[in-house]
Amino acid sequence: MDEREARAQVAGTGRMLLEKQLVARTWGNFSCAVDDAHFCITPSGLGYETMTPDDVVLCDRTDGTWQGTRKPSSELGIHAAAYGLLPNTGFVIHTHQIYATALGLTGPTGLRLSETERRELGGVAWAKYGLPGTRRLHKNVASAMMTGAHAVLMVNHGALICGRDREETVARALRLEELCRRSCLGQDGAEERIGSEELLRRLRERYPTAALCDTPAALQYAALRQPLHAQLDDMAQMIGPVVKAARDEDEALQMLEKQNAVLLDGAGFLVRGDDADDSEALRLLTHKAAVAALHCAAAHRSVRLGAADVALMRMFYLKKYARRKEG
């Protein structure tokens, strides 16, 4: 493919997947093959809404070198492996989509697929856990792709989907999410809270940029009145090891002084970011965390990230976030 066209496809994919709710914020990355030795990939930490073809990075898949004004995604090694291991792959998408991420936590037996559905996805495999951007993660995902699977569920992290071109890859990502949603357990939901607008008003009197996650999954988990421990990398990064449950609204508002997410029965998650964008990211993140936790509980699987991994991811996130705020 012409390099200019590859850059344009990569830059436009983020906006496409935002609309389809397969990605949020800057979570995930995408790439497009240019020739047998090169591919274009999304840069690290740049929002999809403003990304242009000039922001996209050209990479050499054999030695990992790259050209461009921006640093490439830290997962470029996974993309390089996909092009090398899966013949005829022309496009690769890594997402943190909700239901595929949840199903990744409980292993292959939880995903109910017919043989036709499995062929539509190009095969499905699970990759063992590794910290984001590490050689261990790259090695584990590559091992999963060696089975020939074009859809890989990355435990505690997200999904990787490969196809011949962007159209097929996006279609597979959407199909994967549909099938994972069908297989997701424990999503009985809860009745909508009456008076949530009034609660949000009181919340914003104290924390002007705060938000409320009151989706059915969030309300259902909050009704358990128990803490939610980090199962997913993005929760570990943005929130830390646990979201605690408050006994009442007054305690929840107090707790938000020192933490950016709190559970409250009848309300869901109260979240507080430094700005509206952060609060919206936290709202989306807590919904996904609730879906995943409910699925694991219904599958009778206890899943929790290690304390050292959580602390490391949280520290790196805060350093990166501070640098972004400083410009």
Tell me: do 202 and 320 sit in the same domain.
yes
Residues 294 and 200 occupy one common structural domain: yes
Query: Residue 175: inside a domain, yes or no?
Result: yes
- On whether both 257 and 167 belong to a single domain, the answer is no
Structure confidence by residue, pLDDT tens digits, 183-192: 999 998 766 6
Angle (CA) 290-296-302 rounded to 5° is 115
245 and 115 together in one domain: no
- Residue 188 is predicted with a pLDDT of 87
Residue 110 is assigned to a structural domain of this protein: yes
Q: Establish if 13 belongs to a structural domain.
A: yes
| DSSP string of 252-293, one letter each residue | HHHHTTT-SEEEETTTEEEE--SSHHHHHHHHHHHHHHHHHH
Domain boundary among 148, 181, 214: 181
Answer yes or no: is 111 within a domain. yes
| Helix (H) / strand (E) containing 127 | strand 124-127
- Band of the pLDDT at 321, cuts 50, 70, 90? low
| Residue range of the domain that includes 247 | 196-325
pLDDT tens digit string along 40-75?
999 988 888 889 999 999 999 988 899 888 999 999
Same domain, 252 and 110: no
**pLDDT (tens digit, 9 = 90+) per residue, 261-318?**
999 999 999 999 999 989 999 999 999 999 999 999 999 999 999 999 999 999 988 8
Model pLDDT for residues 11-39, shown as the tens digit of each residue: 999 999 988 888 877 789 999 999 999 99
Mean pLDDT over all residues of the chain? 92
Considering the domain architecture, whether residues 77 and 128 belong to the same structural domain is answered as yes
129 vs 20, higher pLDDT: 129
Q: Is residue 191 part of a domain?
A: no
Nearest-angstrom CA–CA distance, 233 and 237: 6
Same domain (yes/no): 19, 161 = yes
Which CATH number covers residue 303?
3.40.225.10
Q: Is residue 205 located within the same domain as residue 176?
A: no
- Is residue 27 included in any domain, yes or no? yes
Nearest Cα to 305, choosing from 227, 228, 230, 242?
230
pLDDT given for residue 158 in this prediction = 95
Question: Do 280 and 312 fall within a single domain?
Answer: yes
Same domain membership, residue 253 and residue 176: no
Whether 157 and 202 map to the same domain: the answer is no
Tell whether 100 and 201 lie within a shared domain.
no
Of 154, 181, 208, which residue is a domain's last? 181
Last residue of a domain, one of 136, 153, 181: 181
What letter represents residue 181's amino acid? R
pLDDT at 124 over 90: yes
Number of domains making up the chain: 2
Global confidence as pTM: 0.93
Is the pLDDT at 194 greater than 60, yes or no? no
Sheet containing strand 57-60, edge to edge, reads 66-67, 57-60, 38-41, 29-33, 91-95, 158-163, 151-154, 124-127
Residue at 187 is within a domain: no
Is residue 305 in a domain?
yes
How far CA 323 is from CA of 69, 70, 316, 317, 320, in Å, comes to 18, 15, 11, 10, 5
- pLDDT digits 0-9 by tens, 131-160: 998 999 999 999 999 999 999 999 999 999
